Amino acid sequence: MEETELVVSTIRCLGADLVQQYKGGHAGTVMGAAPIAVSLWRDVMRYNPKDPLWFNRDRFVLSAGHACLFQYIMLHLTGYPIWTLEELKRYHSPNFKTSRAAGHPEIEQEIGIEVTTGPLGQGIANSVGLAIASKQLSAQYNRPSFEGLIDNTIWCFTGDGCIQEGVGQEAISIAGHLGLDNLVLIYDQNKVTVDGTIDACFTEDVPLRFKAAKWNVIELDLNSPNFPTSQSQVSAVTDALFAAKAHKGEPTIVIIATTIGFGSRKANTGPAHGQPLGDEEVAYVKTKFGFDSGQKFVISDKVYSHFSHVAPRGEALQSEWSNLFSKYAQAFPNEHAELMRRISGKLPFGWRDLIPLKKDLPNADQPTRKSSGIVVETLAPLFPDIVAGSADLLESTFVSWKGMPESGRGAYSGRQIRYGIREFAMAAVANGMAAYFPVSPGRDGGGILPICSTFFMFTSYALNAIRMAALQKLRTIAVATHDSIGIGEDGPTHQPIALASFFRALPNARLWRPADAEETMAAWINAIGEGEGPSILCLSRQPLPLLEGSDRQCAWRGAYTIYSEPSDISPKLVLVATGSEVSLAIKVAKQLSSSTPDLPTRVISAPCLSIFDQQGKEYKKNTIPSGSALVVSIEAWSSFGWARYAHAAVSMTTFGHSGPQAALFEYFGFGVDNVTRVVGEWVGRWSVVEGGERRLMIPGVGDFEELLNGPLH
């Protein structure tokens, strides 16, 4: 058997065996796209299996993540140390706690997995983010005679599903607009998904669609009689991929027609996509390709030797680059030092000191979205790691700064990106940008810090991408303004009511809702320099006062006492609020204290409940003493989730309404007088006065069902 034929056939049989072993997974794409895999990893990509973190390596993204064996098998054959045959055989095994062969590739850059793409289509957007990062860094750091310092190519393997998903199309549009010619999308066009042939649901002219989006299009049909052998197929793919890499001015899609489940009698059917072939069919495939049907996981020495040149080639490429980088250090020491800082994951020295202290913040009432802009305007010009962008709302979200350089076609040094009205892709692109630099525990967060911005309600379009950032522990920041019914006249379509519940339940994510400018500073400092995963900063459109008791260091504990009357007596009533409702809660507390002197009242500002949850038991118990005081949460969102902290809630129970924001707060019961009344009446029901002293009856969890206010209409 000719050597390339042996290699391709081995990959096909190995894929069938690995899926059949535990009767789970996707063999069809591996079998159909095996010639693409050989071409890409053997001939085309620049990488070093012995050092997967080599900085100028090409990046490979598997957007069709279900076809992960396509990637795992090649990582094994090309010599990545962790990817032994035994590791491959753990695919879908009960030994999942130690397996690296996840059902969809999960980010571990040190073993060759650049991002966790997850649901279909996001890998395309991740690749666009990686390509933007590479272009931007090239423009910032490359110099004459050092054009090869950062010049990698981003390769993305995708399938019919990713092409259909909306996020994929959003990302394709962004890439074409920016002219990202370092991005190559390899479209495995087998035209079969779970339900069968895509002709039942998808009949678009894909090449024409990409041409309209300003992409270069290369088409290749491996089912053509012009390519009767694996050798001819691999050679044709290699020629196409090198042509794509050489094309300038536009990203390129290489559309390659393949046969899913090639070699099986189930080829070109839905079962070949997402089901094991079955023992009998696997035996048939092996016999057809000239293998012993009774042997499993067979890889001959000849197959391994076929890739024996890959590691030495990668080491030579990296050595050549390292020499260039050393010369760069001598010629441009400042730029070299800055790039090394970013590669090592360090934030710029002294960045925290640049953020204004409370005494230097504006005393006048102002929206927290504008307070947030103070941080961006202060840090972004001096902080090359920051790359900010907006979904067509730059002026509303305050993520722009004076003299900001924008990134656009042919001008990639800018750190301001206009994403257009594409919220999902914006967040998924940000994930790719964040993953360009090494991602590992213990890093300060340096490299690229992507900031996305839109109205809070519109982050619902981006939920899945923000979820993927949390899953990968990628540090991204979503500036989410217009955070409540305070958006006013735009109406209930734009007024988020239940959205916060999702983010608060999301592991590794931090949802901040600051009460004033000081807490906004706290949110930004935490989002930039603390913890892993994304931060969502929910910011007001309406002006808020700078509160006397606000304190950034206290805010970093997630919740703290911002007002207490009297301060030296344990409270009998605790009001817990966030954002714009904190100042409301303080006014309510003052009214209650004056009218009910025997009701010591405390107000807790809780800008980040996920951080509060991480505090010690004593701090939490002392801050919100729900066992000895009546606790009421006040928030112009849904009450869902507050039962963990409070006995009752002043919250939204319906969608919002169109109208001036101040009138809406009154309309929905968030006026000072109404909240004072309903809280006072509720406290009266749960306490008795005997001998001039108030005695509390602390409600149980079940009593939380009582929401204290609703619309006043």
Dihedral angle, C-alpha 438, 444, 447, 448, nearest 10 °: 110
605: enclosing H helix or E strand: strand 601-605
Give the pair of three-digit tokens for residue 521: 């500073």
- Give the C-alpha distances (Å, rounded to integers) separating 19 from 37, 91, 272, 679: 18, 8, 11, 60
Identify the bridge partners of residue 455 per DSSP, sorted by sequence position.
481
Burial class (CB in 10 A: 0-12, 13-18, 19+), 11: buried
* 635 in catalytic set: no
Burial class (CB in 10 A: 0-12, 13-18, 19+), 329: middle
Contact 634, 574 (CB under 8 A): no
**Which residue in the block uniquely carries the two structure tokens 């709302």?**
393
Contact 333, 340 (CB under 8 A): no
Burial class (CB in 10 A: 0-12, 13-18, 19+), 295: exposed
- Give the C-alpha distances (Å, rounded to integers) separating 215 from 127, 208, 255, 631: 15, 10, 12, 58
Return the number of other C-beta atoms located less than 10 Å from residue 119's C-beta.
18
Dihedral angle, C-alpha 675, 681, 683, 686, nearest 10 °: -150
| Given the residues 281, 423, 518, 532, the one annotated as active site | 423
- Give the C-alpha distances (Å, rounded to integers) separating 527 from 91, 389, 449, 465, 517: 36, 16, 10, 17, 15
Contact 89, 52 (CB under 8 A): no
Q: Tell me the C-alpha distance between 708 and 260, whole Å.
A: 59
How large is the C-alpha radius of gyration of the chain?
29
Question: How many residues are there in the chain?
Answer: 713
Q: Tell me the C-alpha distance between 262 and 685, whole Å.
A: 73
Instruction: Name the phi and psi angles at 216, rounded to 5.
Output: -80, 135
Residue 412 identity: Y
Residues labelled as active-site residues:
423
